[in-house]
Amino acid sequence: MRKSKIKNSIMRVLIMLIITAMLLSACSGKEESGVRTVKGVTSRNTISTECESPTALHYAEGAEAFTEKAAASGLIELYVDKKTNSFCVVDSGKKQIWSALPLLDSLSQNEAPVSDPSMAALRIIGGTDVYSLNTQDNSLGFGKASYVPIENGVEFSYDIFVDSETAKKTSLSTADIAFNLKMDVTLADGSMNVNCTYSNISKNPNAYIESIELLNYFGAYNDSAENDYLFVPDGCGAIIRTSVYDESFEKLSFAVYGSDPSCEKEYSGSALVPAFGIKHGESAFVSLIQKGDTVAAIHADKASGLSDYNIVYSSFDITPSSYEDETLSISKSSSVQEISLCYRFLYDKNATYSGLASACREQLIRDSVLSSQSVDETTYLPFFLTLTGAVSKDLGPFRFLSRLTTFEQAQDMLVRMKSKGINNIALRYTGVFGGGTDSTDAARLRLLSRLGGSSKLKELYNYASGQKMSLYLDIDVFSSASGFSGNAALNIMKNISETEISNKLVEYLGSKPASRELRRINKLSKVISTVLTDTKYYDFSGFCINDAGSVLYSDFSYNGMLRDSAANEIRKAISPLSTSRPTMAVKGNIYMLKNIDSVINVPLDTTVSESGAYHPVPFIQLIFHGAVDYAGDPINVLTDGEETMLHCIEFGACPHYEWNYDSSIDESENDIYYYDNTINSAAEFYKKADEALNDLRSARMTDHYEVQDGVFCTEYDTGSKIYVNYTDSECTVMGAVVEARSFLRIN
């Protein structure tokens, strides 16, 4: 008996030790992951190939070099240059040449080339070194580039080597570094489709393609006319006027769908749509990334002399990696195996950023990314209102939950807004679950009793629905409670992956934004199922998906997912949230908007400051309008409320305010969140916005342009035009007067 007790005690101790080890492993992120780690890397070499004759490999000799016609579709034709193993697209009507490599005849005779254009540039990790290679020097220069005709186009093939000695080998070993890159260029329906794949032909287990720049000089030019520009998807969208000298301009890069919190890199800004383009002369093109968008970045640079070029192009992070504290971390698998881009070409009056957006929208609908259905018409324009139930507040070293708006108070606000003529309110309610705005786990949603509980929520919903208003409960589906649960994603350094969800209210309170542990992607579907179960008996219209609208991340844990697979899983996982319910999203990364009805905090400006050459344009709005209702950031939170109101009218955006019922945040009249301080001005603006925009909600926005300095026009497919005057003086357009700091609609 005594031996049996001792044996049982030992077993219990062993079980406890195993459990403790498992918890520590989950907490520290030391479990097996999808990352290969090399420690003690004190330095890394960056190796590139110097070409003896760069002009011959990197530049087409001129238009006459393209002698072989490969395909034709609509108004465009595809030609091949045998010498550079490259191609060009020719507009058969205007004879505009869009060349993959710059033409030497566009260079000044007194200037020598200063750049090395290529069909593709690659960064390859070989052991701990980095090799900067490209198709022209490291394939064509070694006699290893070729092409063959395929249906409707050409397949280019590049065997890429780090040096000539390796290229001369008849049999490669697994210690060699060699990759093959295939690029199919085809024409269809007047568009050019580019499809790129790659393979490790030496089978070297320590060699990886870190990144690929694809067609980095397609359409490049250095002979700018007055109306030429580059288009980049910064915020709402921006054009870079290439004929305008801008001393402050620096090369820009924009992460498609934002940077990856699990493998962060520095970018100039982020993009909601994976598109870019060029306007040159009377022609333009827009390129839409169809595959590889989740790991893409858009780059743009402006020519500063006769020997360099205006360029805009895309790059792709094929194999995530990180080098920090003498540790090199490399993903064991690649993010994508295939890259695809669709280039659409426009001419004459259609060669505008509005035309680029229209072509982009059409392609997104064709690719089933954006819904072809129009928004449902209502009697009144939606007024988007963000309310906060409870928020964490700092008090010395302690943090406590501060109640700002109860359900009963929210109903009181709706009643008052209704009395002032705000008839269609889309209420987004944040901070209503345990933890308030710092709620840390979507798998444990419980209504805060201090806000009134389910009974008061039901009363609020009954009033809202009775007045044909809507009530959305805000959720962060990525938040995980703790690494101890085993639900947290790991970043590439094998630590728990975290991000900070922007919360201006927290910043206003002087609190520190709470870091959120990101959930394992493969747990997301189960969490969504739990969310639906936990909220089954709550009364509300639908969900507002907060973090999934603006955050996309890789998960490097065991059985994790890289960004491309994660995007597909997120789309699938959140789909049940919109079943039989309207759904709202924050910011609106395009890949997850197919079943979304409305989007708030859509950028109405750019992240890069406007300058002489850099101008915001409503590219996103030209795509979104008519497909979803959208609004920008809350008007009362922004510095210049009057100008923001005009911006909403110009960009076809619904009003959006963020209020609290409680004024205890700031007892002065300067409390921007206290609803009583701005409700009257909001009601006045809503009346004007409703009259101008409501019957246009399902219309297509077809054009946007500057009429004169500070005066802009937005056109719709109904024939309506809205003129917005930002200047301090009235102006006359089409015989009608537009008052200073005002707008005018003409049907």
Q: Domain of 716: which CATH number? A: 2.60.40
Q: Residue 626 falls within a domain, yes or no?
A: no
Cα(543)–Cα(410) distance, integer angstroms = 17
Express each pLDDT in 64-114 by its tens digit.
Answer: 888 899 999 999 999 999 999 999 999 877 678 999 999 876 554 445 555
Whether residues 562 and 680 fall in one domain: yes
Per-residue model confidence (pLDDT) at position 27: 39
Asked whether 732 and 742 are in contact (CB, 8 A), the reply is no
From CA 151, how far away is CA 155, in angstroms rounded? 9
Give me the helix-helix angle, 453-466 and 407-419, nearest 10°. 20
Final residue belonging to a domain, choices 696, 719, 734: 696
Answer whether residue 668 shows pLDDT above 60. Answer: no
CATH at residue 465: 3.20.20.80
Is residue 569 domain-shared with residue 592, that is, in the same domain?
Answer: yes
Q: Is residue 35 part of a domain?
A: no
What mean pLDDT is reported for the chain? 89
| Res. 504 pLDDT band, cuts 50 70 90 | low
Contact 503, 497 (CB under 8 A): no
Query: Do 673 and 715 belong together in one domain?
Result: no
pLDDT band at 2 (very low <50, low <70, confident <90, very high): very low
- The confidence band for 119, taking pLDDT boundaries of 50, 70 and 90, is very high
Inside any domain, residue 234: yes
Does position 565 have pLDDT exceeding 90, yes or no? yes
Give the integer Cα–Cα distance in Å for 528 and 578. Answer: 11
Q: How far apart are CA 81 and CA 398, in angstroms?
A: 69
What was the pLDDT predicted at 114? Answer: 56
How far is residue 337's CA from residue 217's CA, in Å, rounded to a whole number?
23
The predicted model gives 638-665 an average pLDDT of: 89
Which tens digit of pLDDT belongs to each residue from 673-726? 899 999 999 999 999 999 999 999 999 999 999 999 999 999 999 999 999 999
Average pLDDT of the segment spanning 416-420: 97
Which residue stretches of 609-740 are H helix? 619-624, 641-650, 679-693
Helix (H, G, I), strand (E, B) or coil at 723: strand
Clarify whether residues 310 and 269 are in a common domain: yes
Q: Specify the 3-state DSSP secondary structure of 620.
A: helix
Q: How many domains does the chain have?
A: 4
Does 572 map to a domain? yes
Among the residue ranges 264-268, 512-516, 576-580, the one predicted with the least confidence is 512-516
Is residue 29 scored above 50 in pLDDT? no
Residue tagged 């409870």 (tokens):
390
Q: What's the whole-model pTM score? A: 0.91
CATH code of the domain containing 115: 2.70.98
Alpha carbon distance 410, 451 (integer Å): 10
- Do 680 and 559 belong to one domain? yes
Task: Give per-residue pLDDT as tens, 176-227.
Answer: 999 999 999 999 999 999 999 999 999 999 999 999 999 999 999 988 889 9
Structure tokens belonging to residue 318: 């094929």
Q: Are residues 705 and 733 in the same domain?
A: yes
CA distance 271 to 587: 11
Percentage of residues of the chain with pLDDT beyond 70: 89
Please tell me whether residues 332 and 243 are part of one structural domain: yes
Main-chain phi, psi angles of 5, to 5 degrees: -65, -45
- Flag whether pLDDT at 502 surpasses 70: no
Do the domain assignments include residue 280?
yes
Nearest to 239 by CA among 706, 624, 639: 706
Helix, strand, or coil (residue 30): coil
Domain-located, residue 613: no
**Domain shared by 661 and 709, yes or no:** no
Give the whole-angstrom CA distance, residue 472 versus residue 427: 6
pLDDT in the model for residue 11: 53
705, 692: one domain: no
Q: For 158-174, how does the pLDDT look when each residue is reduced to its tens digit (9 = 90+)? A: 999 999 999 999 999 99
The residue among 340, 366, 392 that closes a domain is 366
Per-residue model confidence as pLDDT tens digits over 222-266: 888 899 999 999 999 999 999 998 888 899 999 999 999 999 889
Is position 606 within any domain? no
Give the model's pLDDT for residue 562.
94
Asked if 667 and 722 sit in the same domain, the reply is: no
Tell me, yes or no, whether 342 and 403 share the same domain: no
Instruction: Return the higher-pLDDT residue of 397 and 335.
Output: 335
Contact, 401 vs 391, CB < 8 A? yes
Q: Domain range holding 740?
A: 699-747
Q: Is a pLDDT exceeding 70 seen at residue 126? A: yes
**What does the pLDDT read at residue 1?**
46
- Cβ atoms within 10 Å, residue 643: 13
465 in the same domain as 412: yes
Q: In this structure, is residue 623 part of a structural domain?
A: no
